[in-house]
Amino acid sequence: MNAEHCQNLIIGSGVAGKILAWTLASQRQKTVVVERAMVGGSCPNVACLPSKNVIYSAKAVSLVHPTKGLGVVTGPLRVDMAGVARRKWQMVNELVEVHLGKFRESGAELIMTSRRSPSLSSNSPSKLGKWPVVRAAACSGWSSTKATSPAVF
Ligand SMILES: Cc1cc2nc3c(=O)[nH]c(=O)nc-3n(C[C@H](O)[C@H](O)[C@H](O)COP(=O)(O)OP(=O)(O)OC[C@H]3O[C@@H](n4cnc5c(N)ncnc54)[C@H](O)[C@@H]3O)c2cc1C
């Protein structure tokens, strides 16, 4: 069985794992990150940034609400949740691209263990579908938040 050797193996590409990986890799230490779901972890995908993105739409609605007395007169007000979700997804996709770029720049290798999102699955596409055996001198597990996103978003 072929085995890949590295100095650092990090489980989870969240804020903790990715910063550690980018730092170690930029110090020329061979570093592999194994991620099962979200490139960059909860924050850019389902937590900090997406929540603020959606809350911003709600804030906009609250500002034009007639009972607030701000003097804004509108026609019938309607929230297009598909549009809200589209805006959020555009932001998330851009953030994922930024993260993939950071992995490429630093030299840290990202291995996605989930096959659900092939387009996001690896910055090393050759790894797709044949999960390598990775042997590492140091292994760190970084997975704290259990944030998820309902299907509607
Ligand atoms: C709704 C919401 C809003 C938030 N807003 C803010 C905010 O405004 N400001 C702020 O500072 N913080 C905010 N947070 C908190 C912030 O998101 C977390 O503190 C941060 O994401 C934690 O980073 P982490 O690396 O510890 O974990 P995570 O970002 O959760 O990363 C862990 C990663 O490990 C992966 N993983 C887990 N187990 C495995 C496994 N067995 N194999 C492979 N991969 C695995 C997960 O898929 C995940 O990508 C918010 C959280 C939520 C839920």
Residue-wise pLDDT tens digits, 82-128: 999 999 999 999 999 999 999 999 999 999 986 544 443 344 433 43
Question: What residue's CA is closest to ligand 1, atom 46?
Answer: 12
Domains in the chain and their CATH numbers? 3-70+77-141 (3.50.50.60)
Specify the pLDDT at position 2. 65
Q: How far is the CA of 15 from the centre of ligand 1 (A)?
A: 7
CA of 41 to the centre of ligand 1 (A): 5
* pLDDT tens column, 16-40: 999 999 999 999 999 999 999 999 9
Indicate which atom in ligand 1 lies nearest the CA of residue 52. Answer: 8
Q: What are the C-alpha distances in Å from 22 to residues 27, 67, 102, 111, 127?
A: 9, 50, 7, 14, 19
CA of 99 to the centre of ligand 1 (A): 14
Best mutation site among 48, 109, 134 for ligand 1, i.e. most ligand atoms within 8 A of its Cβ?
48
Q: What is the whole-number distance in angstroms between the Cα of residue 68 and the centre of ligand 1? A: 36
- State which ligand 1 atom lies nearest to the alpha carbon of 41: 49
The residues facing 11 across adjacent strands are 34, 141
**CA-nearest residue, atom 51 of ligand 1:** 47
**What's this model's pTM, rounded to 2 decimal places?**
0.81
At 139, phi and psi to the nearest 5? -130, 130
